[in-house]
Amino acid sequence: MSEFGRRKNVLILAEGYEEKPYIDKILSFPNVNLKTYYFPPVINVKGNCKIVARYQYEIQRGFNDVILVFCDADKGSSQFLNIVNEIGEQFFIDKKYGLKVFIFANPVTLQIVLSHFGDVILKKVSKKKNADIVKKLTGIANYDAKEKQIKSIIEQIHFSSIDILKERLRIISTDFMNIPSTNFLHFLELCESGDCGWIDAINSLRKK
């Protein structure tokens, strides 16, 4: 329980159909500190072009203590940077703080997901170009993010893989401009912690 006597609401906006079921699975594991945090249903915004508008909508509703965005960094693409900067400019005292609400994977979320199964260094955004490593690690052939394929991968992820996932993520860069890179380990550590001061720290940087 937080110092204010209630759990902190942490809403996650997922970029798409790969991100939402994965983060749902992670939040179902027993290492997540549900005495400190309440996670409303993760929202699939169905495309990174809709992230900013949905973020603004949820901020205006005012139901949550913090809103996080889980998305691909797309090899540090201008589109990803524009989304980060737009959230920074609209809602924070400096646009550089926009990145603080992003859970990212560069080049793609599969970098995190496949790390449950083996050592992975993805360098391509294309699902077709990553299909061979998906088949090698999960047995799923011709991966192109169909609903059935995504469900099959998620069903193979179990809590027993969390510790090895962390070890694999620990050696990956957290600089979103590097390929591969991710800050997902930091997100996991926050979810496990009973110290929700990071939420207050983020909110102290928001525009009043």
Q: Residue 193: inside a domain, yes or no?
A: yes
Across 65-76, b (16+ Cβ under 10 Å) vs e yields bbbbbbbbbbbb
Amino acid identity of residue 57, one-letter, is: Y
DSSP state of 7: P
Q: Residue 3: inside a domain, yes or no?
A: no
Q: Which conformational region is residue 121 in: left (phi greater than 0), alpha (psi within -120 to 50 degrees), or beta?
A: beta
Give pLDDT tens digits for 132-189: 999 999 999 999 999 999 999 999 999 999 999 999 999 999 999 999 999 999 999 9
Query: 136 lies in which domain range?
Result: 8-203
Length of the chain counted residue by residue: 208
Nearest of 69, 150, 158 to residue 110 by alpha carbon? 150
Q: Report yes or no: 111 and 161 within 8 Å, Cβ to Cβ.
A: no
First to last CA, the chain: 26
Placement of tokens 């249903």 in the chain: 41
Q: Residue 1: inside a domain, yes or no?
A: no
Q: Residue 2: inside a domain, yes or no?
A: no
If one counts the domains in the chain, the total is 1
Q: Residue 30: inside a domain, yes or no?
A: yes
Give pLDDT tens digits for 46-77: 999 999 999 999 999 999 999 999 999 998 89
The pTM score is: 0.95
Q: Residue 48: inside a domain, yes or no?
A: yes
Q: Residue 49: inside a domain, yes or no?
A: yes
